[in-house]
Structure 1
């Protein structure tokens, strides 16, 4: 039998790159500790799973499945797994540290949420679930207890132990998950494809967010199952018309008639206030492996790692000290920023046209004449044959993104626009007619600031933006056709003045 001292020294021996801290929680076959990664100084959570306990509880398959799936995934709203260290007695699973606990506790503490806050959570959940399905994984145990919140109250889908891999032409039958959140076909033991059971669970979660209670609840399990199989629940009168329309479409007993994730995405209630980084399709895992952030790469190389080996490891999704450092730096850099510009043209994201909310469409659209054939990307229109399109939403180019941004910044400079770089491919900007920017930015625009490594134009975010000042954001996206899409989004200022700016910007780029 190992004593505490021996046990502690073993942990230090197996985890030389981490400084372990306090225990965050204790489970049936292990514990979770907070730790600090020695090289990057970022916090992580380390699950210490005892092999003997796992075997005794016949949980080996559950643990193995969760590790396999999380190793594959990279999504802002799915818990990240950085590395797995196996020893004869334990398995150490190094994961993203999520500070604020479960969404379940959040709902219990606050009661029913305001619609805007509930919608924000729901949009993030749907984005993460869509990513799972795109990678042929069905979660099967979606519930507020398995949705964690980070320090900024962003959702992180966790606990993939009951998830499974979907295969074309194959159906699943296992009855699993929590009864209150399980779809009728699951508790009935019928065959199911997979995505539809996650949609049902998301419908129950949305109901819980908006109502503070569960749609199907009964202490008597047979009665609970009867309610679920019959789709018997009530909608409170305080729900908005949009929510009252969306929830029943998700909680349809017949899985063939139940709403799909793409249909949820198109629903007006879901589309309201949709952040730009969630308006695009979820990132493709294989493409993510091929796209490498040069800035982060250089930081890791400075730590003493070989460039070629690091690039090869990243492309082949290999786990080692260098790749762990790379992903910790990458994730924490994007975690610092938030909102629309938080997406920051992450090249791994496979993006199409972002869909502005109808009320914002006139304010954010820039139109460009493009000859030839066009797809209705993001426009919810489908054609059976090529049709000539004269207009497309947004500015498109096949040039290298750095060349595009150089031209954009030159155009902004000519218009006396002041900006602050948020990333290589995203900026916050301010402009007023005539180029008057007193008390708006601290330092004037200099030509040598174009695409410099530092955010040379420092924004004064203080109060006092005058009515003739436009505040807007610029973001570069990658489309499926290997083109790049430039989007301008109004933040403050009159809509007409913003359209004047757009026209001037297009003229400066010689698009008009």
Structure 2
């Protein structure tokens, strides 16, 4: 008892910002405890890894790799790492708390899932895997045991210990992962680029979701490998035609002919009832880090942190007490709406409603629920979906025509912009600016910000009135185009005023 008490007090000494709770699990070289972040009150899971055991089991590289990768990632369907605290004897990894266990247990308990439910899981998995690949990371051990479920049954991809970083022109050869989910080229020891092996694993996972069993299974390992290398499996008759078409395209033995993530995204079965926030490409990590939520920032500042230092730490991805508090607050708010920054209609706890107008801009906006956001939400009782609103407009005009009018309207309103895609712009508006400040346009089609506005000097000119927002054009299922305006920073009422003026400026559509 005395030793236990001493160990507990050592933990508290090394983890002063957390109130430790019960042990969630014990592994080969450590344990996982639930804890509460003292400043924000949000729950986290803390992995306590014993350095000596890690060294004895030759797992140092695995642990370092997972930490390095998870430090980089910010995605709603990838487990989040908040901070790493190292001591001479232990490594404390503070991570997102995911309370509902593994997808594996969920499948075992329920058997095969209905297609709508399986599709919802699969869409989230593909979004997370696509994000990994965009950041040049291949997971290599995707399986239901490494897919965790949060309290709302949202998938969180975990266990990046076998992951590796892809480099252009280089191939991987390591045979790793679980045999049942491993691609033929992996178990054969052949060279592989990376993404194609994750696609194969996703195909096996989709089969498991829809069938409640594995496509390749045999107690005899040589027989199992023979089935995998030959692509020998059967498709149950209960599968829909869409699923029967998708799975075999993912489980193609020849990796050169295997479906890619972009092709999976385009498949009709995948696109059915696809939530809006998953319909857009996952954001770049660096760009996400630059998007600082003003409301969350103010909440953290209220707890005693200095604004400029906190902003700089967030932009440079420095781990400290302030950034940990910021991301815990941000994630616990965004978790409700299940989306990532810049890619959904509404951040969950914004009290200001956003609206969608009809097919033409009007000065008074009207409430209307866009059916294409998530047509299947009513049928998925296990997956509560927040109904969302947007501020913007819908149009059947050609995208180029829409964007031309958007740029004209922004220029009329003295809004500076920077293109980050053909149909996506970052915008900044300072109400006190006069038109001659933003009069020039560069050869990239960006409306130039004056230097004083681009740098931190803007803080001396009423920073509380600066409105930053993004404009994004999306194609909807009704062959219309949705122009979505999303506030990034600035007062709600000023943003709404600007949006009303913006809609009034649009002369066509």
Alignment TM class, shorter chain as reference: 0.7 to 0.9
Whether 1:367 and 2:396 are equivalent positions in the alignment is: yes
Shift in Å, 1:40: 0.4
- The verdict on how the C-alpha distance between 1:130 and 1:485 changes in structure 2, with shifts beyond 3 A counting, is same
Q: Distance in 2 between matches of 1:255 and 1:75?
A: 27
Residue equivalent to 1:343: 344
TM-score, with normalisation over the residues of structure 1? 0.72
Task: Kindly report which structure 2 residues correspond to 1:301-380, keeping only aligned pairs within 5 A, or say none.
Answer: 301-338=301-338, 343-344=344-345, 366-368=395-397
Shift in Å, 1:478: 4.0
- The verdict on how the C-alpha distance between 1:401 and 1:116 changes in structure 2, with shifts beyond 3 A counting, is farther
Shift in Å, 1:343: 2.9
Residue equivalent to 1:233: 233
Instruction: Say what the alpha-carbon RMSD is for the aligned residues.
Output: 3.3
Residue equivalent to 2:222: 222
Q: Distance in 2 between matches of 1:46 and 1:211?
A: 35
Determine if contact 1:171/1:194 at 8 Å carries over to the other structure: yes
Whether 1:40 and 2:66 are equivalent positions in the alignment is: no
Q: Distance in 1 between matches of 2:425 and 2:188?
A: 52
User: Mind listing any 5+ residue stretches in structure 2 that lack a counterpart?
Assistant: 348-369, 377-392, 405-421, 432-464, 475-480, 486-501
Whether 1:129 and 2:135 are equivalent positions in the alignment is: no
User: Mind listing any 5+ residue stretches in structure 1 that lack a counterpart?
Assistant: 347-353, 376-393, 404-451, 453-474, 489-504
Shift in Å, 1:5: 1.5
SS in 2 for 1:3: helix
Task: Kindly report which structure 2 residues correspond to 1:100-139, keeping only aligned pairs within 5 A, or say none.
Answer: 100-139=100-139
Q: Distance in 1 between matches of 2:210 and 2:228?
A: 19
Q: Distance in 2 between matches of 1:339 and 1:272?
A: 18
SS in 1 for 2:292: coil
Whether 1:163 and 2:163 are equivalent positions in the alignment is: yes
- The verdict on how the C-alpha distance between 1:99 and 1:358 changes in structure 2, with shifts beyond 3 A counting, is closer
Determine if contact 2:276/2:373 at 8 Å carries over to the other structure: no
Whether 1:201 and 2:198 are equivalent positions in the alignment is: no
Determine if contact 1:396/1:486 at 8 Å carries over to the other structure: no
Can you list the C-alpha shifts for 1:11-62, whole angstroms capped at 9, x where unaligned? 0000000000000000010000000000000000000000000000000000
Can you list the C-alpha shifts for 1:183-204, whole angstroms capped at 9, x where unaligned? 0000000000000000000000
Determine if contact 2:276/2:374 at 8 Å carries over to the other structure: no
Shift in Å, 1:117: 0.1
SS in 2 for 1:190: coil
Residue equivalent to 2:75: 75
Q: Distance in 2 between matches of 1:485 and 1:402?
A: 26
- The verdict on how the C-alpha distance between 1:3 and 1:204 changes in structure 2, with shifts beyond 3 A counting, is same
Can you list the C-alpha shifts for 1:294-331, whole angstroms capped at 9, x where unaligned? 11111111111111111111111110000000000000
- The verdict on how the C-alpha distance between 1:398 and 1:182 changes in structure 2, with shifts beyond 3 A counting, is closer
Shift in Å, 1:147: 0.1
Q: Distance in 2 between matches of 1:355 and 1:317?
A: 38
Shift in Å, 1:402: 9.8
Residue equivalent to 2:210: 210
Determine if contact 2:395/2:482 at 8 Å carries over to the other structure: no
Residue equivalent to 2:184: 184
Q: Distance in 2 between matches of 1:120 and 1:359?
A: 12
Q: Distance in 1 between matches of 2:62 and 2:27?
A: 14
- The verdict on how the C-alpha distance between 1:169 and 1:339 changes in structure 2, with shifts beyond 3 A counting, is closer
- The verdict on how the C-alpha distance between 1:106 and 1:371 changes in structure 2, with shifts beyond 3 A counting, is closer
- The verdict on how the C-alpha distance between 1:62 and 1:98 changes in structure 2, with shifts beyond 3 A counting, is same
- The verdict on how the C-alpha distance between 1:398 and 1:355 changes in structure 2, with shifts beyond 3 A counting, is farther
Residue equivalent to 1:435: none
Shift in Å, 1:3: 1.4
Residue equivalent to 1:257: 257
Can you list the C-alpha shifts for 1:53-76, whole angstroms capped at 9, x where unaligned? 000000000000000000000000
Residue equivalent to 1:245: 245
- The verdict on how the C-alpha distance between 1:284 and 1:154 changes in structure 2, with shifts beyond 3 A counting, is same
Whether 1:288 and 2:285 are equivalent positions in the alignment is: no
Whether 1:486 and 2:483 are equivalent positions in the alignment is: yes
Q: Distance in 1 between matches of 2:176 and 2:226?
A: 17
Can you list the C-alpha shifts for 1:370-426, whole angstroms capped at 9, x where unaligned? 657989xxxxxxxxxxxxxxxxxx9987754899xxxxxxxxxxxxxxxxxxxxxxx
SS in 2 for 1:237: coil
Q: Distance in 1 between matches of 2:129 and 2:430?
A: 32
Can you list the C-alpha shifts for 1:337-358, whole angstroms capped at 9, x where unaligned? 3489993467xxxxxxx99699
Q: Distance in 2 between matches of 1:21 and 1:89?
A: 21
Q: Distance in 1 between matches of 2:473 and 2:312?
A: 26
Determine if contact 1:199/1:261 at 8 Å carries over to the other structure: yes
Aligned positions, number: 396
Determine if contact 2:427/2:470 at 8 Å carries over to the other structure: no
